[in-house]
């Protein structure tokens, strides 16, 4: 019953994805981003001195850049497309950071639900919002004191005209599968997770934000770590080799997220909300990898253990360890551009570029309008 309903919802969702909006005409004075490692440009490394070591960064920045990647993230490519500099993390204070065209509040490991003592990142969504409000208030106060600071800080107008981006929720689902006893329990937790996001977006709107851009969550069940952990019983795997339950939960999450976008528009008449179907882009990439020039759809590039996943939970990318008497290193693969997955949990720069290109094509984006809203979503 639940499954039939799910397929039906999925069909309705796909049909409602008309390329009504072409994001290639992106033109914003500033970007304010909230999220997790999928869009963290150095926040968790700055904020809690998280040790992100080589070979992270090897392809593009040629040193670790605070990104869980060999190079650029999706958000970096989107900033390039907007002809804006890469986002400086809010927490990165050393050097000469410029926030004139935006600020990144995303940090690796962050959740929508409030962090607890064992969370990887203490900077969950509610805290990222608090940081944003402090940032905004400080910027406005400082600009009143000294106009010269416009070189480093966004003008007040940018808070209204800027783009507010969100890519968060993957870690909430991920954690739910470790702590729950059943898939039903995970699915039941989704409304609570999403209510935190909805509430936060509303707060931003009330403070003057108007342009919203929401990435849905990717196919969690296709990450090497998830497959290695939950895929020991082959009946848990789909035809791609991904974990069925995790991808199903990601789909349910995404349907409800889309619904929030719709309701949001109904309630907040001045809001623009673009919904980007990251899930479908990434699943397309993994399904059709050879068509798109990749050789490895699922194996981690930087990892240990060899095929099929080249992933071992005991040893993360770049680390050297004594594993049961022998010294081993989780090295990078020889050609990162042939792998979709970077380190078992994150995508390679090559994959991120592919995803960004498809986002910019407009074919996977929707700015839902109430007139064509699917009626059965609740």
Ligand X SMILES: *[C@@H]1O[C@H](CO)[C@@H](O)[C@H](O)[C@H]1NC(C)=O
CA dist 27 and 111 (Å) reads 29
- Whether 369 is catalytic is no
User: From CA 288, how far away is CA 272, in angstroms rounded?
Assistant: 32
The region of 192-200, 213-221, 258-266, 280-288 touching ligand X under the rule CB under 6 A is 280-288
Which listed residue (36, 172, 343, 366) is catalytic? Answer: 343
Measure Cα distances from 375 to 111, 302, 356, 370, 372 in Å.
30, 44, 30, 10, 9
Smallest gap from Cβ 231 to ligand X, in A, equals 11
Give Cα separations from 192 to 110, 176, 199, 291 (angstroms). 16, 12, 11, 39
Region of 46-54, 59-67, 179-187, 284-292 interacting with ligand X (CB under 6 A): 284-292
The β-bridge partners of 331 are 303
Catalytic residue among 36, 37, 110, 167: 37
Tokens of 113: 């639900």
3-class DSSP state for residue 342? Answer: coil
Which of 354, 347, 348 minimizes the C-alpha distance to 59? 348
Taking CB under 6 A as the rule, does residue 287 contact ligand X?
yes
233 binds ligand X (CB under 6 A): yes
119 binds ligand X (CB under 6 A): no
**Binding ligand X by CB under 6 A: which of 153, 176, 283, 299?**
283
**Catalytic: 343?**
yes
Candidate ranges 7-15, 87-95, 341-349, 355-363; the one touching ligand X (CB under 6 A): 355-363
Smallest distance, ligand X to C-beta of residue 370, A:
13
Peptide bond into 55 cis (omega under 30): yes
Cα–Cα distance measured from residue 37 to residue 39, given in angstroms and rounded to the nearest whole number: 5
Q: How far is the CB of 183 from ligand X (least distance, A)?
A: 11
CA dihedral sign of residues 59, 64, 89, 189: positive
Is there binding between residue 334 and ligand X (CB under 6 A)?
A: yes
37 is catalytic: yes
Q: Which is nearer to ligand X, 24 or 130 (CB)?
A: 24
> How are beta strands 163-167 and 296-300 bridged, if at all?
unpaired
Query: Catalytic pick from 40, 346, 365, 366?
Result: 346
Which lies closer to ligand X via its Cβ, residue 143 or residue 237? 237
State which residue, 119 or 284, has the beta carbon closest to ligand X: 284
- By the rule CB under 6 A, 326 interacts with ligand X: no
Cβ pair 343, 302 in contact under 8 A:
yes
Rank residues 114 and 306 by Cβ distance to ligand X and give the closer one: 306
Q: Could you give the CA distance from residue 320 to residue 308 in angstroms, rounded to a whole number? A: 21
Total residues at interface with ligand X (CB under 6 A): 15
Nearest approach, Cβ of residue 280 and ligand X (Å): 6
State the helix-helix crossing angle for 244-267 and 2-15, rounded to 10 degrees: 50
Smallest distance from the beta carbon of 342 to ligand X, in angstroms?
Answer: 14
Mark residues 240-279: x for contact with ligand X by CB under 6 A, - for none.
Answer: ------------------------------x-x-------
Q: Give the whole-angstrom CA distance, residue 76 versus residue 103.
A: 13
What span, in angstroms and rounded, lies between the C-alpha atoms of 252 and 246? 10
Nearer to ligand X, 95 or 325 (CB): 325
User: Contact 212/289 with Cβ under 8 angstroms?
Assistant: no
- Is 161 a binding residue for ligand X by CB under 6 A? The answer is no
- Which of 235, 290, 326, 378 forms a contact with ligand X (CB under 6 A)? 235
Catalytic (active-site) positions: 37, 343, 346
Binding site for ligand X (CB under 6 A): 210, 233, 235, 270, 272, 283-284, 287-288, 324, 333-334, 358, 361, 363
């Amino acid at each position: 019953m639940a499954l039939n309903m799910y397929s039906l919802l999925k069909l309705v969702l796909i049909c409602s994805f008309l390329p009504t909006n072409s994001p290639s005409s992106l033109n914003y004075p500033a970007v304010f981003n909230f999220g997790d490692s999928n869009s963290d440009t150095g926040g968790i490394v700055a904020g809690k001195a998280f040790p992100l070591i080589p070979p992270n960064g090897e392809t593009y920045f040629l040193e670790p850049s605070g990104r869980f990647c060999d190079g650029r993230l999706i958000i970096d490519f989107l900033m390039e497309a907007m002809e804006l500099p890469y986002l400086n993390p809010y927490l990165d204070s050393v050097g000469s950071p410029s926030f004139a065209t935006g600020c990144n509040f995303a940090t690796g490991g962050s959740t929508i639900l409030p962090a607890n003592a064992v969370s990887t990142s203490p900077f969950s969504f509610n805290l990222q919002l608090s940081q944003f409000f402090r940032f905004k208030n400080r910027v406005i106060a400082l600009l009143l004191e000294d106009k010269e600071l416009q070189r480093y800080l966004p003008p007040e107008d940018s808070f209204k005209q800027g783009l507010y981006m969100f890519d968060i929720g993957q870690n909430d689902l991920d954690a739910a599968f470790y702590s729950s006893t059943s898939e039903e329990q995970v699915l039941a937790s989704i409304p609570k997770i999403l209510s935190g996001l909805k509430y936060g977006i509303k707060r931003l709107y009330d403070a003057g934000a108007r342009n919203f851009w929401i990435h849905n969550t990717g196919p969690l069940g296709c990450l090497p770590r998830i497959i290695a952990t939950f895929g020991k019983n082959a009946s848990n795997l789909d035809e791609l080799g991904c974990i069925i339950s995790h991808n199903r939960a990601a789909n349910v999450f995404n349907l409800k997220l889309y619904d929030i976008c719709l309701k949001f528009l109904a309630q907040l008449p001045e809001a623009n909300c673009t919904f980007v179907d990251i899930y479908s882009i990434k699943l397309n990439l993994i399904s059709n990898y050879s068509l798109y020039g990749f050789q490895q759809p699922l194996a981690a590039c930087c990892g240990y253990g060899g095929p099929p996943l080249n992933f071992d939970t005991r040893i993360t990318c770049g680390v050297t360890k004594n594993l049961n008497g022998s010294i081993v290193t989780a090295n990078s693969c020889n050609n990162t551009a042939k792998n979709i997955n970077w380190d078992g949990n994150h995508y390679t720069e090559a994959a991120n570029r592919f995803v960004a290109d498809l986002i910019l094509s407009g074919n996977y984006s929707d700015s839902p309008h109430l007139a064509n809203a699917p009626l059965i979503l609740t």
